[in-house]
Structure 1
């Protein structure tokens, strides 16, 4: 159990709970069609972003199965994305993580740097056994991030659901705690 997530400082980033002051930064990337393309939501309006930031401000603890923690990814005082960890099963010690990053900041290793901290939080903070990540099969950037993190592709589900009015494929990745800990970090 993790009661309240404290800010996490990486080499270049600060991962921290969202504040009400983050709405404009969130809107700057969550309103973009290329960000929403692989997410279940459409591009967000400013009001949508305000509602999401308010919800994320409450998602700062992992007390029980089903809880999600969401952290803002801050670079030089600006929120450029977010990362999340969901506690899927206490009995089976399973979790799921995810990440979203402003397209203007992609390709520089920020997503990998931030997402690695969510894996570390799951394995070291919650003592999870296994963490999974999922992405649309067309989202090659997210797939590469998970591969760089040492995750293995376990499945490619073909036309597994109707996503934004068309059949979509989904990739599933996973890493075990023993694999995570044995890799050079």
Structure 2
């Protein structure tokens, strides 16, 4: 069953992607600084269109996509995207990831939006565990994990080959039971 959307927070709306989101996503996904710690490089218009088409199918963990992706809207523009995807056949472990425009850094919008998304996902799907992993240099995402109450569980040295270099990986975890403490 799809995740009920939209999800409204005090300042953001988490909603499905639409074809009208291309320019907003291109604004931040095309920036080398934004793509620095992502698996893919900066996206061009065709790459953003393909991303939106893929995200439009990611509406539920119990669908063929086994993923949920949402656009984060603030003051009428998409300023971020958040997604989760199942990690194994138990259907109880998922990974979360996000990308936000640098224009909204420091405003607490990522924390607000991702926390609401996590709450909705845990309320709607029978997940036991949510994980986040990132490049070891991605201090902003690590700080976001900590603000979300996630526990830093591992720091793996030079364990991933990305964009022509060995990179470190930080792993965070959050149990469904952590949200009720």
| Pairwise TM-score range, normalised by the shorter structure | over 0.9
Q: What secondary structure, in the 3-state scheme, does the structure 2 residue paired with 1:157 have?
A: strand
Q: What secondary structure, in the 3-state scheme, does the structure 2 residue paired with 1:73 have?
A: strand
Counterpart of 1:159 in structure 2 is 158
Segments of structure 2 that go 5 or more residues without pairing to the other structure are: none
Counterpart of 1:84 in structure 2 is 83
Q: What secondary structure, in the 3-state scheme, does the structure 2 residue paired with 1:133 have?
A: strand
Counterpart of 1:103 in structure 2 is 102
Change (3 A) 1:92 1:41: closer
Number of residue-to-residue matches in the alignment: 181
Alignment of 1:1-185 (within 5 A): 2-64=1-63, 67-89=66-88, 91=90, 93-182=92-181
TM-score (norm 1): 0.92
| Runs of 4+ residues over 3 Å off in structure 1 | none
CA distance in 2, matches of 1:50, 1:18: 11
CA contact (8 A) 1:98 1:115 kept: no
CA contact (8 A) 1:153 1:174 kept: yes
Q: CA deviation at 1:60?
A: 1.6
Change (3 A) 1:143 1:65: farther
User: Which is worse superposed, 43-52 or 58-67?
Assistant: 58-67
CA contact (8 A) 1:95 1:122 kept: no
**Once the two structures are superposed, what CA deviation does each residue of 1:111-143 show, in whole Å capped at 9, x if it has no partner?**
111111232123211121111111111000000
